[in-house]
Structure 1
Amino acid sequence: MIRKKVLCSSIVLAVMLLSKLYSSAHSASKRDPIRTAMLAQVEKRKKAIALSPEKQKEAYYSSIRFADRRVPLQNPTVEVKFERYLANFSFRRQQSYDLHKKAAKHLPKIASILRSYGIPEDFKYIPLIESDMNPRVTSHRGAGGYWQFMPATARLYGLRVDGQVDERKDLIKSTHAAARYLKSLYKEFDDWTLVAAAYNVGGGNLKSTIRRQGTRDYYKLRLNKETGSYIYKLVSVKQVIENPNKHGYKRYAKMDDKYQHINEQNLL
Structure 2
Amino acid sequence: MIKKRVLCSSMLLTVMLLSKLYSNPQPESMTDPFRKALDQSMISKVIETEELSKKNSKDDFYSQISFANEEIPHEKGFFRQRLDKYLSKFAYLKKPSNNIHKKADKLLPRIAKILKSYGIPEDFKYIAVVESSLSPSTTSHKGAGGYWQFMPATARLYGLRVDGNVDERLDLVKSTHAAAKYLKSLHDEFGDWTLAAAAYNVGGGSLRSSLRRQGKDNYYDLKLNAETAAYVYKIISMKTILETS
TM tier, shorter chain? 0.7 to 0.9
1:198 has 2:195 as partner: no
Q: Distance in 2 between matches of 1:144 and 1:110?
A: 17
1:121-136 map, 5 Å: 121-136=122-137
CA distance in 1, matches of 2:143, 2:168: 14
Q: CA deviation at 1:111?
A: 0.3
The Cα offsets for residues 68-90 of structure 1, whole Å up to 9 and x where unpaired, read as 12321211111111111111111
Given the alignment of the two structures, is residue 222 of structure 1 paired with residue 187 of structure 2, yes or no?
Answer: no
- 1:183 corresponds in structure 2 to 184
For normalisation by structure 2, the TM-score amounts to 0.78
AA partner of residue 103 (structure 1): A
**Contact 2:100–2:134 (Cα < 8 Å) also in 1:** no
Q: TM-score, normalised by structure 1?
A: 0.71
Structure 1 residues 95, 160: closer, same or farther in 2, change over 3 A?
A: same
Deviations, residues 60-117 of structure 1 (Å, cap 9, x unaligned): 1111111012321211111111111111111399896223212101100000000010
- The amino acid that maps onto 1:89 is F
Structure 1 counterpart of 2:9, one-letter code: K
User: Which runs of 5 or more structure 2 residues have no equivalent in the other structure?
Assistant: 13-48
Q: How much does 1:188 deviate?
A: 0.4
With 91-100 and 63-72 compared, the bigger mean Cα shift is at: 91-100
| Contact 2:62 2:80 (C-alpha < 8 Å) held by counterparts | no
Alpha-carbon distance, 1:56 to partner: 1.3
Can you give the 5+ residue segments of structure 1 that lack an aligned partner in the other structure? Answer: 1-39, 245-268
Tell me the equivalent position of 2:60. Answer: 59
Deviation at 1:197, TM superposition (A): 0.2
Q: Equivalent residue of 2:163, what SS?
A: coil
The change in CA–CA distance for 1:45 and 1:173 in structure 2 (over 3 A counts) is same
Give the Cα–Cα distance (whole angstroms) in 2 for the partners of residues 138 and 205 of structure 1. 22
Aligned length: 205
What one-letter code is carried by the residue in structure 1 that aligns with 2:102?
Answer: K
Counterpart in the other structure of 2:117: 116
Is residue 173 of structure 2 the alignment partner of residue 172 of structure 1? yes
Greater Rg by CA: 1
Confirm whether residue 44 of structure 1 aligns to residue 45 of structure 2. Answer: no
**Counterpart-to-counterpart distance in 2, 1:235 and 1:42:** 31
Letter aligned with residue 224 of structure 2:
L
After the TM superposition, which segments of 4 or more aligned residues of structure 1 sit over 4 Å from their partners? 40-43, 46-51, 92-96
User: How big is the shift at 1:51?
Assistant: 9.3
Give how far 1:226 is off: 0.6
Q: Is the 8 A contact 1:87 1:93 kept in 2?
A: no
Distance 2:118 2:164 in 1: 30
CA shift, 1:42, in A, is 7.7
SS at match of 2:241: helix
Which whole-Å CA distance do the structure 2 matches of 1:183 and 1:197 have between them?
13
Q: Is the deviation greater in 223-232 or in 62-71?
A: 62-71
The match for 2:46 is none
Q: Kindly, what percent of the aligned residue pairs are identical?
A: 56
Amino acid at match of 1:113: I
Q: Which letter maps to 1:129?
A: V
Mapped pair 1:213 → 2:214? yes
Within 1, Cα distance between the matches of 2:178 and 2:163?
16
TM-aligned CA distance change 1:87 to 1:105, over 3 Å: same
Partners in 1 of 2:97 and 2:233 — Cα distance? 21
User: Residues of 1 paired with 2:194 and 2:6: CA distance?
Assistant: 46
CA gap 1:178/1:42 in 2 versus in 1, 3 angstroms: closer
Name the CA distance, whole Å, in 2 between partners of 1:239 and 1:70.
16
